[in-house]
Amino acid sequence: MTVWDSLVLGIVEGLTEFLPVSSTGHLTIASKLLGLEIDDPAVTGYTAVIQVGAIAAVVLYFWSDIRRIVAAWVRGLVNKEDRTDFDYQMGWYVIVGSLPIGIVGFLAKDIIAGPLRSLWWVAGSLIVWSFVMVAAERFGKRIRPLTRMRMTDAVVMGIVQCLALIPGVSRSGATISAGLFRDLDRVAATRIAFLLGIPALVGAGLYELKDALNGGTGTAALILGTVVSFAVAYASVAWLLRYVTKHSIEIFAFYRVLLGVVLLVVLTSGVATAT
């Protein structure tokens, strides 16, 4: 993998990790355009590792919230009186909501990194999940702020997050949509989607690190891609949180459909192969 490849993939990862457009789908497309083998374990491992840069960005952005939640959670483990603190409860929401994708991701690793790494899957998922996002906006009541979140919300969002293992679905798109269907407001759904992404993506990055290194991806390429994804992702997180305070996520659904249709045309015409 060249320095140019690392730079491009780092930018794509940072831009798309937290926008509901599917970072894995965009990374798969970008890898194909760069001439890389998209089902190569080294490539899939590399894209998982540089996600850690994007996660570092969201950790930095939410650092005060994370520190407060962790402190409250630890206090609640010791003192029964502190268990009524919402931050203590939020700690459990993130833990419980993160378990499904960790279990499914581990058990289905070979399928995710193999057969699903096809541009046919990416195109189909981009289009199909767009309709789910629009439905979430149209039918979700958006009446509950983050402080009214319940464990049921965390479980549902955690289970739906597993669908993001399919390239093209989008982890943030899946969890935000689930939150909207649960009648959380956009800001609440987006913030919990970010928090749920931290354990999931850090775990995936650490697990895939060996494949990225053993596959011939140099340490310098990994560092460059991770640093670039960190910088770009920080800006993306800040922008998206401001955007959802006043705007629908339907614009992302329209973009996804357009990209999916273009991809289907390219594949059907034989201009590019699916793997």
Residue partners of 120: CB distance under 8 A and separation at least 6? 267, 274
Q: What pLDDT sits at residue 214?
A: 66
Q: What pLDDT sits at residue 208?
A: 66
Q: What pLDDT sits at residue 172?
A: 93
Answer yes or no: is 95 within a domain: yes
The total number of residues shown for the chain amounts to 275
Read off the pTM.
0.89
As given in the structure block, the two tokens for residue 62 are 């939410």
C-alpha distances out from residue 119 to 28, 123, 126, 133, 233, Å: 7, 6, 10, 21, 24
Q: What pLDDT sits at residue 167?
A: 87
Q: What pLDDT sits at residue 146?
A: 94
Answer yes or no: is 273 within a domain: no
Q: What pLDDT sits at residue 107?
A: 85
Answer yes or no: is 238 within a domain: yes
Answer yes or no: is 28 within a domain: yes
Identity of the amino acid at 184: L
- In this structure, the number of other CB atoms found within 10 A of the CB of residue 30 comes to 19
DSSP state of 34: T
Answer yes or no: is 275 within a domain: no
Q: What pLDDT sits at residue 102?
A: 87
Answer yes or no: is 101 within a domain: yes
CA distance 163 to 124: 13
Domain that includes residue 47, residue range:
3-268
Residues of the chain with pLDDT under 50: none
Cα 256 to chain centroid, rounded? 15
Q: What pLDDT sits at residue 273?
A: 82
CA distance 81 to 85: 8
Q: What pLDDT sits at residue 125?
A: 95
Answer yes or no: is 274 within a domain: no
Q: Number of structural domains, the chain?
A: 1
Identity of the amino acid at 97: G
Opening angle at CA 164, ends 159 and 170, nearest 5: 125
